[in-house]
Structure 1
């Protein structure tokens, strides 16, 4: 199997170098694609020597990741947020599990980069919920066979909840691989907006989405932290 890691970015200059330096040992096994949504800072210039391709599109994670995937060559597409770190031996783990079953996609368990007990509980609940529902969030690093991704039409064109919408489509093909290896994701949003407030916001956004709310309106609420 060959791999493509696709990273959607929009004004990630502060952290993009750290993110990409951690991925450099993997470049002998995969390509790294920065799917930028029109950054106005130095994200692209900082990334230039550390990636194989930079693609440009309108902003929006679904649009950016679909654009990056359209330029990818790997058999397996890995969608990685810029503030999330892959576990050690991530590619070996993905390849081993995909080769030994009928699954065509999956995700990792998650750990938030904070010692706060509430955030440890949050991460545990995210992992449990994902195993029970078969639905993953983007922070858990979704990976999928290229052919399956394109047969389904890629990420649905939504302003928010594109990861949940994709998982619903993927579940019709196969259950997800729920890998116990943990990605480490930034807790900055939880810390900035307040842990309890963010928990309630995310529950509210999910409920409204399932009840049919407009994802564009939900995206505005998410950006504002309300």
Structure 2
């Protein structure tokens, strides 16, 4: 039956902002799947992101900028039983749809995500992957670039993504952990290495940890984002 657990409709929501170089690959990774809806939520791209998505036959909606705002807008427009939030520079593995449906059938599981692989032949990035995957499995703390998924019912019940300028995925997972188990699928998504290569692997990793510590210490997400954009965190 179409409405049985193994055939529930999945809505994939991709927030975009100037992602013309990546969006086609992200969309292509979703194609070999069953009963899946794809929604691109654009936050004001100045490049060809929207045109590319439309040419590929994908539903596009326009939104105010901000990843959390865009993902919530996509969730409101979605018609699926399951929501999967995919970053535009990340590709899903073959068979992801079956993996997602199966994961959400496990006892006490309220959400899930995939393991992570970074798309660059850099030895230091292999260690980053190990750290991310260890954190995800043992602390049940995946981040947004791991394609977080959950049922629409649970998403609405926990109050959607907090509309923060940064750390929205971190806060969503913290809320979800209070209600049940976060399943981590061992098969990885493949994400772009661009943010690690831009500032360097070590510096990017340290910056990420400083952001998390600042958030735990009560620094507002608005101030953290301001520091990040102004490069002040790089001086720590």
Q: Provide TM-score, normalisation by structure 2.
A: 0.91
**Which of 98, 115, 122 matches 2:121?**
115
| Distance in 1 between residues matched to 2:188 and 2:92, nearest whole Å | 8
Who is 2:145 aligned against?
Answer: 139
Residue by residue, what CA displacement relative to the aligned partner does 1:127-169 show, whole Å, maximum 9, x if unpaired? 1112222222001110011001011110001000000100111
Task: Verify: 1:216 aligned to 2:204, yes or no.
Answer: no
| Residue 47 (str. 1) matches residue 47 (str. 2) | no
Query: Which residue does the alignment assign to 1:56?
Result: 62
- The 1-side partners of 2:172 and 2:220 are apart by 17
CA gap of 1:181–1:223, structure 2 versus 1, over 3 A, is farther
Q: Which residue number in structure 1 is paired with residue 106 of structure 2? A: 100
Distance 1:65 1:13 in 2: 18
Cα deviation digits, residues 108-143 of structure 1 (max 9, x gap): 110111121110000110111122222220011100
Q: Let me know the Cα RMSD of the aligned residues.
A: 1.4
Segments of structure 2 that go 5 or more residues without pairing to the other structure are 1-7
Q: Secondary structure at the match of 1:25?
A: coil
- How far off its partner does 1:224 sit? 5.1
Count of matched residue positions in the alignment of Structure 1 and Structure 2: 225
Residues 51, 133 of structure 1: alpha-carbon distance in 2 compared, 3 angstrom cutoff = farther
Q: Does 1:20 align with 2:52?
A: no
Question: Structure 1: which 5+ runs fail to align?
Answer: none
Asked if 1:11 corresponds to 2:18, the answer is: yes
Structure 2: distance between partners of 1:222 and 1:51: 36
Give yes or no for the alignment of 1:37 onto 2:59.
Answer: no
When normalised by structure 1's length, the TM-score is 0.95
Q: Structure 1 CA distance, aligned partners of 2:139 and 2:65?
A: 29
CA-CA distance at 1:18 after TM superposition: 2.2
Moved more, 136-145 or 95-104: 95-104
Secondary structure of 2:198 counterpart = helix
Q: Per-residue deviation at 1:76? A: 0.6
Identify if the C-alpha distance between structure 1 residues 224 and 132 changes in structure 2 by more than 3 Å, giving closer, same or farther: farther
Q: How far apart are residue 64 of structure 1 and its match?
A: 0.3
Q: Does the aligned pair in 1 maintain the 2:26–2:92 contact within 8 Å? A: no
8 A contact 2:89–2:192 mirrored in 1: yes
The residue that corresponds to 1:191 in the other structure is 197
Secondary structure, aligned partner of 1:104: strand
Could you say what secondary structure the match of 1:111 adopts? strand
TM superposition outliers: structure 1 runs of 4+ over 6 Å: none
Instruction: State the distance in 2 between where 1:67 and 1:42 align.
Output: 21
